Chain A
Amino acid sequence: MNAELAIILIACLTAVACAIPGVFLVLRKMALISDAISHSILPGIVIGFFITEDLASPWLILLAAFSGIITVVLVEAIQKTGLVKEDTAIGLVFPALFSIGVLLIAIYANDIHLDTDAVLVGRLEYAAFDKLMIDHVSYGPKSMWTISITLVITLALLFAFYKELKLSTFDIGLSSALGFSPVILHYGLMSVASVTTVVSFDAVGAILVVALMIAPAAAAYLLTTDLKKMIVLSILFGIMSAIGGYYFAVWLDASISGSITTVLGLIFLLVYLFAPTKGLIAVLFRQKRQRTEVSLLTFLLHLNNHDSIEERRVAHLQEHINWGKVRAKTVLELAQKNNMITMQDEVVSLTNKGLKFTEKALDYIITNKDEQIEDMKDDFFLFRG
């Protein structure tokens, strides 16, 4: 296998392995915990490296993942005292553990094949050349093996416990009452996140692994209202960023992991702007329409309340309801287009349809009953929660 293909493959596998636990971390509002884990596994990696002298050793991976779990336990223990909030607890724990790791590297820097830069941003460039050798036969890059095994385990757990994970993420109380221990599921997820972080660490480093976990899920969250689709989309975004990031890096002649993260950021930005219903542009458009609709309703209610011709003159409307010319014109046009009003000699009157609509809307505003407006929801944003 050539190096280029190996690097792309490692990047893709890493992205997929990170995206899956990432979805649940985002939905559990625990994005920051992944940041904490990614930093505090460092002392585990360093100590593991002293013992095994092999970054791909299963013992090192387990030891480092264990320090990730310790982070979670410590954060929860500090939080439980009630003296500080969760974010503060996270901010206290992971720098402490990370700094121990940094000190260990600094002290033993000469003996150890780890440097601080590699810890932060990884070294995907070299991962392809660190081959698994058994009896002088090469079995491909070591990281590809570790990340593949992790991914297979993650997928197996996801398929087995999808239902349980979904329930305990959505409704921890019911999960507990039905006998699906939220504690076991929580620590199961944390263990997967920790192991994934450790095996991704060598390739993408402590800071970028967080992006691989959180950004795909965050983007997918804006695009779908279905958990399964959210997982699939996250995986796709991860793969897109891995492949796109590699070629971006080749083009720029820059760090691959840095490029992958940049591409991820761009993907999120695009989704954030252009997502069909939750995107920024869609939201702004909806707000503008809502404003117009509120104006229209106000206008119709005014017509409904006042019979006299004086009150219904266009000029009077502009002055009386206190709208600028443009706004008044927009509203008048909208009302006319929907056959809710008729105009004669600059005097506005409600049509039957307009009258009906106004009464229905008024009724809704007063009684606040949902049933009556179900059929209006399709036409008007205003009545959607």
Chain B
Amino acid sequence: MEQKIAVAVDDLTVAYNYKPVLWDIDLSIPEGVLMAIVGPNGAGKSTLIKSILGIIDPIAGSVAIYGKPYKKQRDKVAYVPQKGSVDWDFPTTALDVVMMGTYGALGWIKRPGAKQKKQALEALEKVGMLAFKGRQISQLSGGQQQRIFLARALVQNAAIYFMDEPFQGVDATTEIAIINILKELRKAGKTVIVVHHDLQTVPEYFDWVTFLNVKHIATGPVKDIFNDDNLTKTYGINYKVAVQK
């Protein structure tokens, strides 16, 4: 079966202060997969997502979204940053944060209107947060904040979703709710790429996986490549402790 390539990363190298955090990454992600990016702390998982989205400029290499540069394909991509990357004391409400997902389609200067509000309310309902639409965001729990971020990505109605640790600091109920939504997205033919920490849940949640540790180690279907060999290459010798806990 010939599958379309949703994301292609070519010879990507990223450095902070001249120290490479990603080294010559080649990666292609087929359309319609639900993929985890795993690797130890400092492996460059978030950096990989950020450089695909043009948030960080690489020192070498290129990225293509459906064969074109990201800048021409912004409307096809949604992004959920790490929860900790924003100030939750910011004076705004849950609904307003979700509305931010519509800004990309609006472009510069144009303001969101009734249509955008309706989209945002629908997304809030999908993540089970409609009742909290007017609540100030600091008054939400960690799991609720993560759902708000997910709703904001859903509003973007993209083809590819990048999520940076969406399960961080959420309780088990929220985790299940989130993964169910991600699985629905995949069913709808979307490509979902998730930075993930919990190795145990990889086979249960995802159908594809990328192993990353500064260098690209392997990418493929979980059933083919999620094995001792790749885990050892990525994490060193202690991976079994993490997996069998």
Which residues of A approach B to under 8 Å, CB–CB?
A: 27, 29, 82, 160-164, 166-167, 169-174, 176-180, 221, 224-227, 229-230, 368-371, 374, 384-385
**B74 pairs with A170, CB closer than 8 A:** no
> What CA separation (Å) do A224 and B97 show in the bound complex?
16
User: Of A163, A173, A178, which is within 8 A of B50 by CB?
Assistant: A173
B115 within 8 A of A: no
> What CA separation (Å) do A385 and B17 show in the bound complex?
38
**A170 pairs with B87, CB closer than 8 A:** yes
Give the chain B neighbours of A173 by CB distance below 8 A: 50, 53, 55, 79, 81, 85
- The chain A residue with its CB closest to the CB of B85 is A173
User: Of B71, B81, B90, which is within 8 A of A174 by CB?
Assistant: B81
Contact string against A for B residues 89-100, beta-carbon threshold 8 Å, 1 for contact and 0 otherwise: 011110001001
Give the chain B neighbours of A178 by CB distance below 8 A: 74, 103-104
A295 to chain B, nearest CB (A): 24
Contact string against A for B residues 62-98, beta-carbon threshold 8 Å, 1 for contact and 0 otherwise: 0000000001001001010100011100111100010
Assuming the contacts A230-B91, A370-B143, asked whether A161 and B109 have C-beta atoms less than 8 A apart, the reply is yes
> What CA separation (Å) do A176 and B71 show in the bound complex?
11
> What CA separation (Å) do A225 and B171 show in the bound complex?
26
User: Of A160, A167, A368, A374, which is within 8 A of B103 by CB?
Assistant: A167
Which residues of B approach A to under 8 Å, CB–CB?
A: 17, 50, 53-55, 71, 74, 77, 79, 81, 85-87, 90-93, 97, 100, 103-104, 106-109, 111-112, 131, 136, 138-141, 143-144, 152, 171, 173
With most chain B CB atoms within 10 A of its CB, the pick from A174, A176, A370 is A174
**A170 pairs with B92, CB closer than 8 A:** yes
- List the 7 closest pairs (A to B, CB-CB), nearest first: A178-B104, A225-B136, A173-B81, A177-B53, A177-B79, A176-B55, A370-B141
B51 to chain A, nearest CB (A): 11
**A176 pairs with B53, CB closer than 8 A:** yes
**A170 pairs with B103, CB closer than 8 A:** no
- The chain B residue with its CB closest to the CB of A373 is B141
> What CA separation (Å) do A167 and B108 show in the bound complex?
12
B15 to chain A, nearest CB (A): 13
> What CA separation (Å) do A374 and B103 show in the bound complex?
31
**B90 pairs with A180, CB closer than 8 A:** no
**B106 pairs with A163, CB closer than 8 A:** yes
> What CA separation (Å) do A174 and B90 show in the bound complex?
15
18 contacts between A and B (CB under 8 A): A29-B87, A161-B108, A161-B109, A164-B108, A164-B109, A170-B92, A171-B85, A171-B86, A173-B55, A176-B54, A179-B74, A180-B108, A221-B91, A226-B92, A229-B91, A370-B143, A374-B131, A385-B141
> What CA separation (Å) do A166 and B99 show in the bound complex?
12
A161 to chain B, nearest CB (A): 7
> What CA separation (Å) do A308 and B77 show in the bound complex?
63
Give the chain A neighbours of B103 by CB distance below 8 A: 163-164, 167, 178, 180
- The chain B residue with its CB closest to the CB of A81 is B17
> What CA separation (Å) do A174 and B162 show in the bound complex?
11
- The chain B residue with its CB closest to the CB of A169 is B90
> What CA separation (Å) do A179 and B71 show in the bound complex?
8
**A163 pairs with B91, CB closer than 8 A:** no
> What CA separation (Å) do A221 and B53 show in the bound complex?
32
Give the chain A neighbours of B106 by CB distance below 8 A: 163
**B85 pairs with A179, CB closer than 8 A:** no
- The chain A residue with its CB closest to the CB of B162 is A177
Assuming the contacts A177-B54, A178-B74, A178-B103, asked whether A170 and B90 have C-beta atoms less than 8 A apart, the reply is yes
